[in-house]
A and B are shown apart, each in its own frame.
Chain A
Amino acid sequence: MRREEIEAELLRWMSDPDWTRDEERFESLALALFRHQHATCEPYSRYCRSLLRGPENVTSVAEIPTVPTGAFKEFELRCFAADATLKIFRTSGTSTERRGQLLLDTLVLYEASLLSSLRRLLLVGIDPGREGPGHAVAASTAPTGKPIMRFFAPSALEAPDSSLSHMFDVLARKEGAAQSGFDLHDGRLDLVAFAEGIRLGQNLDRPMLIGGTSFAFVHWLDATANDTASEAAERWRLPAGSRVMETGGFKGRSREVPRERLRAELADRFGLLPEAIVNQYGMTELGSQFYDSTLLDPTGPRRKLAPPWTRVRFVDPDVGRDVGPGEVGMVVIHDLANTGSIAAIQTADLGRSVLDDAGRSIGFDIVGRASGAEARGCSIATDTMLEASGGTAS
């Protein structure tokens, strides 16, 4: 199977609003993609050879060698010629640090993947035309119409190598109202513009979507902490049907806030139910993202949902084999949207499957990062050293 054929098949899959899971289809595409990437990405093929694994003896997804996210800092992991590079997304860090990068020669699959997830898991209920059967969240109360979107992130123009800014930009262009925009400029939150955006949403009684990094939300909460209850209600209460998407960690960028507390504080300040606060689990190195289930399934347990063209595994880090159902393991992701890069990624996160009463997996949880996982260059490497040595200070 050529890459073009794999991508065409994936695009068909991504256009299915019901996200039909098909293990046979996934396995077949994943193995075809592995063969392609092994043949075209030299650092990957050398790595596979060092593990004595290749197309000749890899017969299942679980056998595909996975690349640690740190390798994206060391190598140009691409399956195309360098001069075909169309876009580079980089992990956060300063100009002097070594940063991970995802190189792309096309954005078609990348954007199809992100839009499919956003429509199904974040915008569900806003546009009744896209709502699936039985997905009732907010649909009965939320007005229709394109939502006004405001983002606590720099625009794609200001941060052209930020995958998050690109995602928000695509989302706003494709699904947002004309009044959508970015409220973080030159590293500063523009509270006036943000308040104005909310006021507009309130006046139009149009659902809003607020997106941003978790640490930016913490700064916003801190900056508005002295608002009285009535001021907060007047300025920040979002229209019915609104929702908030937060992503990323806090390390070195704001005070640390437990995820549950951040969710509760955001819900309180915006006047929303906690179910409307959705966390995204994603990383620059991936072409797909994972969102909380709460808008799609408000009565079920909060967990991350994976698009069907991805497989999230939890493995014993010592031996690389899958752990038992529901057990904590190192998160390994096979993301078929990564056609031009490497699809099999080994993260430094810990997670586990969430099971239903019958023991079937219905999603997953991230239960924490490994201590060194946030190393993104020297300043954070310092942190990592200290953090790690801090386990038992002497």
Chain B
Amino acid sequence: VTNKLEIDWPDRAVERVRAARGRLELAAAELVDWPLAERIGALARVVEAWTAPDSVWRRELAEALGASSPFDPRTVRAGLDDALGAWRAADFAALCRRELALVLEDDEMELLPFEWTAVLAGGSIPMPTLLSTWLPLVLGSPVLLRETTHDRETADLLGRSLEAVDRRLGRAFEAIHFPHEDEPALTAFLEAPCVVATGSDETIASIRSRLAPATRFTGYGHRFSIGLLGPELASDRALLERAARGIALDVARWDQSGCLSPAVVYLLGLREPARADLAHAIHEALERITAEMPRGELSPGARTDHASERAEARMREAGGRGAQLFEGEEHTLVLEADAHPRPAPLHRFLRLMPVADAGELERALEPFRGMLSTSFIAGFPEPAEAEIRSALSGLGLSRYARPGTLQCPPIDWPHDGMPLLTPMARLVRNG
């Protein structure tokens, strides 16, 4: 017999969504009354709390995700340290002031915050969840976050970190989880006047089709990243070693499973034996990095993908088709003979594909127009690098970086080529 009665109320997700919405709409009044410049300052302090080297929030999140996610705890810790370490609170504040200059500097331009913003998180990497929450709050719109199944840890810490900086921020944030097939809950969730979603292209399209015409919607579909390596690597051993170490980091971080992970690396103008030298160097760097950032547990599907692609590469190697297979305990590297598109199993499976010049590279990437996120680039003299960027300008890449920094963009990086705040802002001109 128990003398303690535990109830779960409201017992349906749709009711929890509605209850949270009611609380957030009350909290909105406090946010609106808070001057924009001060809100930016408060959110910058939240960013500082997460990005400082001794951040308790980051440490707690690393421990929680390390225990609950399929990633190895050391890989989680390194991934968070590297990505959040690259974010600067000052950059965040500057970004907000820059994008909202028309409100801050023009008395006749007014920011009219949405009553609340629904943020649909995706994937298991926490940085997009953090940023997608902070941005609407800057704009004065409370946030209801639907947690992703893969990450049930970030939201709680995020809420507490907001509360710790300012109770108004704490009250303006709530998180909820419901299964994607819970139609009533999803419908109630998507009644928000502003919706931000991260997910597969199918998910984004599905959500968009369900929204009322007046709903403001920002969707981040899936992208993938690439690498570009040039001929200077053939003549500069130190440069090659640095690039190899950087590529290994980019591949190992989050086990190559994010949009900022390189799916394929193109070798421009590199001939044999330089290609094989480079492949060896990357293979060895990937081998070494296993000790500091071990690969996490692979799903049966991912393991099957790896087995299939390894066997296929081995067969091409044995058949004299020019492919060279480098197999590690926790990684696979294939030096291809051409740039024909092939599956990218990820989870530390990297292909190196040779192309003769920027024109061939552009043709190889043409099928992926609009689907590319970021590229690392190394080994080119400056004029050649500029020429390559120019040749690829129409493909939709929104950032170029050096090997080793692909997964660590600055906080003000224009994700998918878009401004960060203004897509979620509602403006009114008085006069």
Residue positions of A touching B, CB distance < 8 A: 43, 46-47, 49-51, 66-71, 74-75, 98, 256, 317-318, 320, 328-330, 346-350, 368-373, 375, 377-379, 381-382, 384-394
Could you tell me if B341 and A378 are in contact, using CB atoms closer than 8 angstroms?
yes
Checking B258, B304, B309 against A394 with a beta-carbon cut-off of 8 angstroms, the contacting residue is B258
Q: How far is the CA of A389 from the CA of B293 in the complex (A)?
A: 19
- What distance in Å separates the Cβ of B424 from its nearest Cβ neighbour in chain A? 18
Nearest-CB residue, chain B, relative to A368:
B301
Interface centre among A347, A348, A370, A378 (most CB of B within 10 A): A370
B224 at the A/B interface (Cβ < 8 Å)? yes
Given contacts A43-B319, A378-B341, contact A350 B300 (CB under 8 A): yes
- Is B93 positioned at the interface, with any CB of A under 8 Å from its CB? no
- B319 and A379 form a contact (CB under 8 A): no
CA A49 – CA B319 in complex, angstroms? 10
Contact in complex: B123, A70 (CB < 8 Å): no
| Chain B residues within 8 Å of A394, by CB | 123, 125, 127-128, 254, 258-260
Residue B101 at the chain A interface, CB threshold 8 Å: no
A-B CB contact pairs (8 Å), 17 listed: A43-B318, A51-B314, A67-B311, A256-B202, A328-B300, A330-B303, A370-B302, A370-B304, A371-B305, A381-B367, A385-B224, A386-B201, A389-B346, A391-B346, A392-B254, A393-B125, A393-B258
Q: State whether the Cβ of B220 lies closer than 8 Å to any Cβ in chain A.
A: yes
Whose C-beta in chain B lies nearest to the C-beta of A46?
A: B318
Contacts of A375 in B (CB 8 A): 342-343
Contacts of B254 in A (CB 8 A): 392, 394
**Contact in complex: A392, B263 (CB < 8 Å):** no
Contact B301 A350 (CB under 8 A): yes
A68 near B308: Cβ-Cβ < 8 Å: yes
Count residues of chain B with CB under 8 A from any CB of chain A. 55
| Residue interface bits B292-308, CB-to-A below 8 A is 1, else 0 | 00000000111111111
Residue of A nearest to B304 (CB): A370
The answer on a CB contact under 8 Å between A372 and B345 is yes
- Residues of B at the A interface (CB closer than 8 Å) are 122-125, 127-128, 150, 198-202, 220-224, 254, 257-261, 263-264, 300-309, 311-312, 314-321, 340-346, 367-368, 371
Complex Cα gap A368–B302 (Å): 12
The answer to whether B315 and A389 have CB atoms under 8 Å apart is: no
Bound-state CA distance A377–B309 (Å) is 14
Q: Shortest Cβ distance from B285 into chain A, in angstroms?
A: 21
- List the A residue with the shortest CB-CB distance to B368: A382
CB closest residue in chain A, given B220: A393
- A378 to B257 Cα, complex, angstroms: 20
Cβ distance A171 to chain B, nearest Cβ, rounded Å: 31
CB-contact partner of A348 in B258, B263, B305, B321, under 8 A: B305
Structural contact, A384 and B343, CB atoms closer than 8 A: yes
Measured between C-beta atoms, what is the minimum distance from A156 to chain B in Å? 30
Residue numbers in B under 8 Å from A317 (CB-CB): 300, 303-304, 306-308
Residue of B nearest to A319 (CB): B307
Contact between B319 and A371, CB atoms less than 8 A apart: no
B300 lies within 8 A of A387 (CB):
no
**Interface of chain A, helix or strand or loop or mixed?**
mixed
CB pair B202–A391 under 8 Å, yes or no, is no
Set of chain A residues within 8 Å of B199, measured between Cβ atoms: 390, 393
A71 near B315 with CB under 8 A, answer: yes
Q: How far is it, in angstroms, between the C-alpha of A74 and the C-alpha of B311 when the chains are bound?
A: 12
- Which of chain B's residues have a CB closer than 8 A to the CB of A388? 257, 263, 305, 343-346
Contact of A379 among B122, B198, B261, B367 (CB under 8 A): B367
In the docked arrangement, what's the CA distance between A43 and B319, Å? 5
A348, B319: Cβ atoms under 8 Å? no
What chain A residues lie within 8 Å of B150 (beta carbons)? 392
Which one of B198, B224, B307, B318 lies within 8 Å of A330 (CB-CB)?
A: B307
Contacts of B341 in A (CB 8 A): 377-378, 381-382
Determine if B308 and A346 form an interchain contact, defined as CB atoms under 8 angstroms apart: yes
Contact partner of A67 among B122, B224, B306, B315, CB < 8 A? B315
- Leading 10 A-B pairs by shortest Cβ distance: A317-B307, A392-B123, A372-B343, A50-B318, A394-B258, A370-B304, A390-B222, A381-B341, A70-B312, A375-B343
B123 touches A393 (CB 8 A): yes
List chain A residues, Cβ under 8 A from B316.
71, 74
**CB proximity of B225 to chain A, nearest CB, Å:** 8
- B308–A70 CB distance below 8 A: yes
Residues of A with C-beta under 8 A to B368: 382, 385
Assess whether B301 is in contact with A370, with CB atoms less than 8 Å apart: yes
A71 to B323, CA, bound (A): 13
A387 and B200 within 8 A (CB): yes
Q: Are A318 and B307 in contact (CB under 8 A)?
A: yes
Q: Which residue of B lies closest to A386 (CB)?
A: B222
The smallest beta-carbon distance between A299 and chain B, in angstroms, is: 30
Which residue, A66, A317, A330, A379, has most C-beta atoms of chain B within 10 A? Answer: A317
Q: How far is the CA of A69 from the CA of B305 in the complex (A)?
A: 12
- In angstroms, Cα B341 to Cα A349, docked, is 21
* Separation of A390 and B319 alpha carbons in the complex (Å): 33
Is there an interface contact between A378 and B367, defined as CB atoms closer than 8 Å?
yes
